[in-house]
Amino acid sequence: MKRDKLFEELNGLPSTFGVTPEQFFKADGSNQTKSGIIFTLNVTGNYGAYDLRNWLQEKLRFKFSWMEVQYYSGGVPEPKVRDPRTGKEEKIPVMSDEEFKQYKQETQRGFKRNKFPLLISTKAFGMGIDKPNIRYTIHYGIPQSLEAFYQEAGRAGRDQESARCIIIFSEDDVQRAVYLHGDTYRGVKPETDACLELYKNSIIPALDELEIGKAREIQIPFKGEQKQREKSIYRLSMIGVVEDYTVEFNAKRFDVKIVRRNDAEYLQHLQAYIGQYKSREFVESIPRQIEAISGDWIEKCVRYLVQFVYDEIVKKRRAAIETMAQVARTCHTNEDFRRALLGYLEESPFTEPLSELAQVESMEAEKWWQILDLKNDNEQPLIHDVDGARQLLGGCRRAVDDAPEHPGLLLLRGFAYLLVPDQDSQIAFDDIRRGLQNLKRALPEQETRQEAIALQVMEQFCHYFQRIQDFEILYPQVAEHVLSEFPGRAMARSLHEILPQQAEGLLLSLTLNRIKSLNMQLSRSQ
């Protein structure tokens, strides 16, 4: 079905540009060629660049005999091939590493020179490629983020002529993107263990022979574990143990330049890397955090680094996939999508305060609600205007990508979804529920404060949302989520007027449980 949709979109492109299929799909060696790129998430498999290219080449050539399609990827395609004797499948590279390097150079050169019109590629195709006559891009599946879509789709129309950017999206894409994301990041413990194993077995023996400030080159072999070994080497470069490395594909080894430094220098390298993501105050706190970790100094740095990557970067990338999926689900027209993309990328009055919230783990809820109170030139709340509400939603989407677990940002994004017309209210309530759950995690053993902020959610919703059309329907639904997450007596009494039946039922249940508990205590005392 998905491939059929892709073929349908390709067939419709010539008429969109007012030319015949023969004119559209023919490469003539000039910039009059109407070039296109189809982006895929992976290399092989039904949704990979290599397999899709083979299918599409055959499909298009059946219709246009002169049509040529090529593929481009970072690594050598390794399609699964079934052994006729054993029936088992194994991955077989389509060519050697050296042959593939040559193939990529020729493909890139041929595409730039308009020798063929269509390239199917992973994101490995160079951002710096200056090709003015790309008339269309198609994302065969969900992009990794709104920013990634903007960058990749931005390769079309660089000559200022008309261009078309298409996403072919299905719910399966989200699961596939999350799976590939999880396949890349195997977990804190496996990655830490792999990195420390390589450090102890391959690097320490050579490092111990060096004086501080001295460097040397060592060779680290690889077989099937190339990607994991390279990731470990890269992690060690972040803390300054590795200064540089190259991959020798034919010899199946890494040539690695290592440097012995003092502990302070390793720490400086680690802090410089983390400083790309966190505030100066956070970076200055790293030495105190590392002291509590077991191992020698480099082991401490490795353990801290991998945990940081998973706490910060991995969660952010997962959040970016979810944001992209939300936009794809809720945008029903090209104009809807354009507004959502611009709201995410462009500066607005909400950008700076939301960014400040994302940078600190503040549980000062008053600062969250101040964002709802930002005014326009007429001293009216910006969110009472549809464009202002869209700006809030776009800003919240970006801020949540930077701080995926911040309860205030999740609550604000949920509110923004309800303010913008024609959005899915279920997505809004999911954000509100997650925000309330993360509030409890952020304030453990502070139930009174948790409930006070939860009640503020109701107050703010009532204050700012009475003007929206479905307020009478949405207000009790928000209350249900608050009561569900905070099912105590005080909350039930506070929300009794809004949810009389649920509150009374909860109070009765709590009373019965209390009676049962007292009876059990009496029975034990007798």
| 202: in domain | yes
Q: Tally the domains of the chain.
A: 3
Share of the chain above pLDDT 70, in %: 98
Is the domain of 23 the same as that of 105?
yes
Distance from C-alpha of 401 to C-alpha of 378, rounded to nearest angstrom: 32
| 491: in domain | no
Is the domain of 41 the same as that of 165?
yes
Strands (E), 354-434: none
Tell which of 280, 312, 344 closes a domain.
Answer: 312
Tell which of 137, 163, 182 closes a domain.
Answer: 182
| 380: in domain | yes
Is the domain of 152 the same as that of 291?
no
Task: Give the pLDDT band (50/70/90) at residue 182.
Answer: low
CA distances to 77, 99, 176 from 96, rounded to whole Å, are: 10, 5, 28
Strands (E), 41-183: 69-72, 80-82, 89-91, 118-121, 134-140, 164-168
In the predicted model, is pLDDT for residue 517 greater than 90? no
Predicted local distance difference test score (pLDDT) of residue 64: 77
Do residues 63 and 20 touch, judged by C-beta distance below 8 A? no
Is the domain of 287 the same as that of 430?
no
Is the domain of 360 the same as that of 292?
no
Predicted local distance difference test score (pLDDT) of residue 270: 95
| 500: in domain | no
Is the domain of 286 the same as that of 137?
no
According to DSSP, residue 141 is labeled S
Tell which of 278, 312, 346 closes a domain.
Answer: 312
Do residues 143 and 57 touch, judged by C-beta distance below 8 A? no
Is the domain of 60 the same as that of 191?
no
| 321: in domain | no
Mean pLDDT confidence for 421-425? 85
Task: Give the pLDDT band (50/70/90) at residue 526.
Answer: low
Mean pLDDT confidence for 286-314? 91
In the predicted model, is pLDDT for residue 127 greater than 60? no
pLDDT digits (tens, 9 = 90+) for 131-152: 899 999 999 988 989 999 998 9
Is the domain of 93 the same as that of 58?
yes
Least confident interval from 167-181, 227-241, 277-291: 167-181
> Helix 471-485 vs helix 500-525: angle between axes, to the nearest 10 degrees?
10
Structural domain boundaries enclosing 300? 187-312
Locate all alpha helices (DSSP H) within 243-333, ordered by sequence: 263-274, 280-284, 286-291, 297-308, 315-330
| 479: in domain | no
In the predicted model, is pLDDT for residue 250 greater than 90? no
Residue from 225, 294, 240 nearest 271 by CA: 240
Instruction: Indicate which CATH number applies to the domain containing 76.
Output: 3.40.50.300
pLDDT digits (tens, 9 = 90+) for 332-367: 899 999 999 999 999 999 999 999 888 877 788 999
Is the domain of 247 the same as that of 136?
no
Mean pLDDT confidence for 385-411? 93
| 501: in domain | no
**Tokens representing residue 266 in the block:** 């390793």
Is the domain of 91 the same as that of 153?
yes
Is the domain of 117 the same as that of 232?
no
Residue from 164, 150, 108 nearest 131 by CA: 108
| 226: in domain | yes
Is the domain of 107 the same as that of 202?
no
